[in-house]
Amino acid sequence: MDTNKTLDIKNLAFASEEAVFPQHYYRYAVAAIFFIQGLAFASWASRIPTIQQTLGLSDSALGGVLLALPVGLMASLPLSGWLIAKTGSRIVVMIAAMLYSLVLVTLGLAETTPVLMGGLFLFGFAGNMVNIAVNTQAVGVEALYKKSIMASFHGVWSLAGFLGAALGTLMIGTGIVPYQHFIVILVIAWAVIGFSSKYFLREDANKQANQPIFVKPDKSLVHLGIIAFCSMICEGAMFDWSGVYFKKVVLAEKAWVGAGYTAFMCTMALSRFLADGLTHRFGLKKVLQMSGLLTAAGLAIAVLFPNMVMAIIGFFLVGAGVSSVVPLVYSAAGKSKVMSPGVALAAVSTIGFLGFLFGPPLIGLVAGATSLKVSFSLIAIMGLSIALVATKAKV
């Protein structure tokens, strides 16, 4: 029997077996976890300056401390895939999400640098477990809907990020210390997890009996990983260097230094809610190709015309370009024919997050040797690479 037909039959059986509740119950439950994950991360990010001041950390010292988070993230990747394959994503997402919000409180309580670094390692470790498990759940919900809805889940994460940043500003303005702020997030998170857990999928989609846990990724997964790698380099550049670019290259006034980042985040969040419809209409390959071209075009505009208006337009395009790449790559990886969803997602994430980790430092090295404009020109090439690899990939 044809492999694709076999997978379709398995997905139909999965859908009928899991349809205990209306489809939207599962969708809202998974979206709720994306929301609390985004809320927790943004809450931490909003209080970094406060914690830096409390511990008396210099900028360079803070940079070293913050590395503990991605180290924890990378350390969890192989374990996350293995646990999900063995126990299912439902149990992992519940435990990891509870741990993630609990560790957040310890970050607010940290009184020494080593304690903060240990907390950040656990925060990254638990956060990535949530990420892999909840995306595995999302793949299952997609199987119920029989259409692409992954990008909208990541759009919820982005909206939660905006809300978390706004809440952090409010907490700072009212003089609430970080650990008290984080306890509020913990209570919200545990309440949401407790309510939503009833509606998590009990079986993961595309899971086949006797499927090996450790297996070499096939060419299609490698291509997806490379696409994620290129996209996450571009995302990392926007997160870490957009403000610096506007300050040093665009020569923006102090009040407008964050304009590029804001433009990027706005279109990134909005486009994630549009990407599923576009994928359904035009197909995954064309959407990935267009995403890469938009990213490259936006960066090229910002480099060639480094004035306020054109740079903001360029960053708008970059946000639209990178918005749906990782969600759609995760969706495709979760449908792997050679790996269980959790392991496939972990494999693709491992390749992708290397770009997120090494991209920003590489930009700094290139900028130090040449200029920021040259660095951003190289990032534009990463956007083109997304389009080129998507053209060759079997997606």
Q: How far apart are CA 127 and CA 186, in angstroms?
A: 14
Tell which CATH classification among 3.40.309.10, 3.40.50.980, 1.20.1440.230, 1.20.1250.20 matches the domain 219-392: 1.20.1250.20
Per-residue pLDDT at 215: 56
Per-residue pLDDT at 210: 52
Per-residue pLDDT at 307: 94
Spatial CB neighbours of 383, under 8 Å, sequence gap ≥ 6: 230, 234, 292, 293, 294, 295, 296, 297, 298, 299, 318, 321
Q: What residues does each domain of the chain span?
A: 3-199, 219-392
Residues with pLDDT less than 50, the chain:
1-10, 12-13, 16-17, 209
Per-residue pLDDT at 231: 94
Q: pTM of this prediction?
A: 0.83
The candidate with the shortest Cα–Cα distance to 221, out of 118, 320, 337, is 337
Residue 198 DSSP class? G
Tell which CATH classification among 1.20.1250.20, 2.40.160.10, 1.10.287.370, 3.40.50.1970 matches the domain 3-199: 1.20.1250.20
Same fold, 3-199 and 219-392: yes
Per-residue pLDDT at 50: 87
